[in-house]
Amino acid sequence: MDTIERLASEISSCGVRRCFGVPGGGTSLALLDHLQKMGVGFHLAHTEAAAAIYAGAWGMLSGLPGICVSIKGPGLTNALPGLAVARFEDYPLVAITEAFAPTDPPTKAHKRIDHQALTQALVKAHCYLDADGPAFGRLMDIARAENPGPVLLNLSAGPTTVYQDPRDAVHGGGAAIDLPPFSRPVVIAGSLAGRSAFSDILNALAFPVFTTAAAKGVVNECLPHAAGVYTGAGKELSPEAGIIGKADLIVGIGLRAKEVLAVNRFHCTAVNIDVSSTAAETGGFGFAGTMTLAEGKEFLGEAGKMTWGLELVEQSRAALMGGVDCDAYLPVRVLLELPGLLGRRFRLVVDTGDFNTIAEHVHRASTLHDYLSTANSRYMGTALPLGIAASMHAPELPHVVVVGDGGMGWHASELKTAVAQKLPMLILLFSDGGFGSIRGRAKQLHLTLDPLTVADPAWAGIVRGFGIPSAVAATYGEFEAFVRSWRPAEGPGFVELRFSPEAYEAMTRRLR
Q: Where are the domains of the chain?
A: 2-166, 185-309, 324-506
| pLDDT in the model for residue 1 | 58
Query: What contacts 194, CB < 8 A, 6 or more positions away?
Result: 215, 217, 218, 368, 369
CB-CB contact of 143 with 124 (8 Å): yes
> What does pLDDT average to in each consecutive run of 10 residues of the chain (512 residues)?
89 95 93 95 96 98 97 96 97 96 86 92 92 84 94 87 72 69 97 97 98 98 98 95 96 95 95 78 88 94 94 96 93 96 95 94 96 95 97 97 93 96 97 81 83 83 96 96 96 96 88 87
Query: What contacts 382, CB < 8 A, 6 or more positions away?
Result: 53, 85, 351, 352, 374, 407, 410, 411
Q: What is the distance of C-alpha 337 from the center of its chain? A: 24
Question: Which residues share a beta bridge with 44?
Answer: 21
CATH of 185-309, one of 1.10.10.60, 3.40.50.1220, 3.30.230.10, 1.10.260.30: 3.40.50.1220
Give the H or E element holding residue 55: helix 48-62
Residues 346, 347, 349: CA angle, nearest 5 degrees: 140
| pLDDT in the model for residue 470 | 97
| pLDDT in the model for residue 176 | 63
| Crossing angle of the two packed helices 354-362 and 436-444, in degrees rounded to 10 | 110
| pLDDT in the model for residue 163 | 73
| pLDDT in the model for residue 277 | 59
| pLDDT in the model for residue 452 | 80
| pLDDT in the model for residue 206 | 97
- Burial group, residue 487, by CB count within 10 angstroms (0-12, 13-18, 19+): exposed
| pLDDT in the model for residue 192 | 96
Alpha helices, DSSP H, located in 402-454: 415-420, 436-444
Q: Residue 338 corresponds to which amino acid?
A: L
CATH of 324-506, one of 3.20.110.10, 3.20.20.60, 3.40.50.970, 3.40.930.10: 3.40.50.970
324-506 matches 185-309 in CATH topology: yes
The CATH number given to 2-166 is: 3.40.50.970
Assign 324 to helix, strand or coil: coil
| pLDDT in the model for residue 177 | 82
Residues 15, 63, 80: CA angle, nearest 5 degrees: 95
CB-CB contact of 235 with 242 (8 Å): no
